[in-house]
Amino acid sequence: MTDTKTQVVYERPESLTDTHTHYCPGCTHGIAHRLVAEVLDEMNLRESTIGVAPVGCSVFAYNYFNMDFVEAAHGRAPAMATGIKRVSPENTVFTYQGDGDLASIGMAEIMHAAARGENITVIFINNAIYGMTGGQMAPTTLPGMKTTSSPYGRDVELAGFPIKMAEILSVMEGSGYIVRRSLHDAKNIRKAKKAIRLGFETQERGLGFSMVELLSSCPTNWGITPQEALGFVADKMVPVYPLGDYKVNAELETIKV
Amino acid sequence: MTKELLKGNEAFAEAAIRAGVEGFFGYPITPSTEFLEHMARRMPQLGRAFVQAESEVAAINMVYGAACTGKRVMTASSSPGLSLMMEGISYIAGTEVPAVIVNVMRGGPGLGNIAPSQGDYYQMVKGGGHGDYFPIVLAPASVQEAIDSIAMAFDLAEKYLSIVHVIVDGNMGQMMEPAELPPMREIPTESPPWAVTGAKDRDPNILTSIYIDPVEEEVTDLRLLKRWKEVEKNEVRYEEYALEDAEMAIVAFGTSARVASSSIRDAREEGIKVGLLRPITLAPYPEKRLDEISEQVERILVIEMNSGMMLDDVRRVVQGRVPIEFYGRMGGITPLPDEILDEIRRVDTNKTEVKGDPREAWMARLEKNIMGEDK
């Protein structure tokens, strides 16, 4: 026998359940879930965290996260999270929302949660389309982009312009940490994880509202391959939704993660 | 404790505080606003949660989230606000978590007005939100009874994992009368086993109203229905006045019943044998007692501050055994004792058969009265 040393280099985070997801091949929800789970493990928060699932493709997020979860009405996750956090401030509370949920039907709830400086963390998945209902135009759909409800391409004259949530939320005084990241390649995924960490650090330090917007792919409803979809994020979405830090509380700048 | 002169809305809010409410989430709306204002003053003093939400939609969803932690939480609003809350109410019902909602009703539909009304009977008693669910509805008729109802509402909500609506009209929210508040209830330190508190040393708790498999949804709806049948069996509450020898029964709730009591006293002095059945729980409805009364009396007069909503429930229970007549005022108008006394006299001497919808004859009389008043 040769002397071998074994070392675990990769395993399922405790914050994820041992199950298959219902997400389509090439969808980046799985990556986003894993990043959140890794961060909660690293911060040792799993046992005190309460997640709030949205209406949308991630409606069943609670089947994949191994922690207490509630399931909100469409767009109301920030209100539900507010209720939980206000009566149970000792718990870590996060919402996981898509763009239709957060930037369309839930616009009032997200804006006022930020305005109040609710000490919650929001993971915002922006894939520029409604996934669960089968590919309709979202408030984040790019100009000219074809969807089942913008079959000739989003005409900004008739259907308006994409809504840039990170930019909007960054001007709210209650916001502590507002950034946009992307999940289209390994380098950006690593940056996204750091941002998620800082989002939860914001909450743990009581620095107010935190939101991490994650540009994501939807090959099924975009009608392209997973590989092409990642390219679409990089080439088409990033120019409309620039990556970057939109608001960072000064206290967070001292944190090394 | 001694009786104090208390304003309705403030007394109801303080009653909720005494009952151990740990979170209040609301939005200002007349005639319920003093409830929110009282909470804004008192909750921070006690280290409890108060949020003035951006809308009734947000307020009820804050209640929903907070209710999932197993703590006593509530909101208070008025009719148009309740319409906005119906989404969250249905979700709360579907998730089977307890919540207490106070509705200080006003005139409608639409923006209507801010005067007292009972026009939300259908919306409150028959559900209002989507899907198969059954809220408990308490309809107190005095400031004291409302104070007591709010404490009872939390107990019932927790016992049956249900929504409990406490409905009063603007009169009761705005009036002052002597009443006694209960002592402060101690806040429990233990959470119920279903609550989301963080999955420490146990499997995760998931609270949701989604059952994507119709079979699972049907099982859930059946569970809700079975629980409702238990509520119907155990929780019917009503009050009777002067019914022992009555030949005519008035059926009325809340303020209408209170006004009717004065009229009944006067009618009794005139020798008219009239009594009152006042449902305190509008859901579950006191069907059995009404059924018995309909065997005893010769006529029933239903009085409401709406277009005859509870009337439908009375007709459903009585099934034509005795004639039913109706007197209602709508649009935010509270009937006066003299109006009801006139109705009692009229019904007492009316030997003609009442056929079809009792609203028909009432509408004709009301129209004539209103036109007359205008002149």
B176-179/B4-7 β-pairing: antiparallel
What pLDDT, on the 0 to 100 scale, is given for residue B375?
45
As for how many domains chain A has, the answer is: 1
B95 with A69: CB under 8 angstroms?
no
CB B60 within 8 A of CB B93: no
Return the ∠ at Cα A165 (arms to A163 and A169), rounded to 5°. Answer: 135
Q: What is the pLDDT of residue B350?
A: 87
Give the pLDDT of residue B174: 95
Contact B51 A86 (CB under 8 A): yes
Report pLDDT for B352: 79
A63: domain range? Answer: 29-254
Q: If you compute the radius of gyration of chain B from its CA atoms, what whole number of angstroms results?
A: 21
B58 to A84: CB separation less than 8 angstroms, yes or no: no
Scan residues 254-313 of B and list those with Cβ closer than 8 Å to A.
none
Quick check: is A100 in a domain?
yes
Convert the pLDDT of each residue in A88-124 to its tens digit.
Answer: 999 999 999 999 999 999 999 999 999 999 999 999 9
Look at residue B373 in the predicted model and tell me its pLDDT. Answer: 56
- Is the peptide bond prior to B31 cis by the omega test (within 30 degrees of 0)? yes
Domains and their CATH numbers in chain B: 4-234 (3.40.50.970), 239-374 (3.40.50.920)
- Chains A and B: how many Cβ contacts under 8 Å? 133
pLDDT of residue A16: 98
Q: What is the mean pLDDT of residues B270-293?
A: 98
In a mutational test of the B interface, the residue from A48, A84, A172 whose CB has the highest number of chain B CBs within 10 Å is: A84
Average pLDDT, chain A: 97
In-domain check, residue A178: yes
Compute the 3-state secondary structure of chain A and give helix, strand, coil in percent, each to the nearest 5: 40, 20, 40
CB count in 10 Å sphere of residue B278: 22
The answer to whether B6 and B143 are in contact (CB under 8 A) is yes
Measure the CA–CA gap between B117 and B129, rounded to whole angstroms.
Answer: 20
Residue B179: pLDDT band (50, 70, 90) is: very high
pLDDT on residue B144: 97
CATH number of the domain within which A184 lies: 3.40.50.970
| CB proximity list for B51: less than 8 A, separation 6 or greater | A82, A83, A86, A116, B23, B24, B25, B59, B62
A11 within some domain? no
User: Does the residue A23 lie in any domain?
Assistant: no
Q: Is residue A5 part of a domain?
A: no
Average pLDDT over residues B12-30: 98
Q: Which of residues 6-35 of B touch A (CB under 8 A)?
A: 22-23, 25
Q: What average pLDDT does this structure show over A22-48?
A: 97
From the list A82, A59, A46, A54, the residue with the least C-alpha distance to B65 is: A82
Residue B241: what are its φ and ψ, rounded to 5°?
Answer: -140, 120
Given the structure tokens 């409805």, which residue do they identify? B285
* A1 pLDDT more than 80: no
Question: What is the spatial distance between Cα B371 and Cα A71, in angstroms, rounded to a whole number?
Answer: 54
Residues B74 and B97: their CA atoms lie apart, in Å, by: 12
Query: Which tokens is A174 given?
Result: 């209650």
Question: What pLDDT is recorded for position A2?
Answer: 64
pLDDT for residue A256: 82
Structure confidence at residue B303 (pLDDT): 98
pLDDT band at A127 (very low <50, low <70, confident <90, very high): very high
| Residue B374 confidence (pLDDT) above 60 | no
Q: How confident is the model at residue B156 (pLDDT cuts 50, 70, 90)?
A: very high
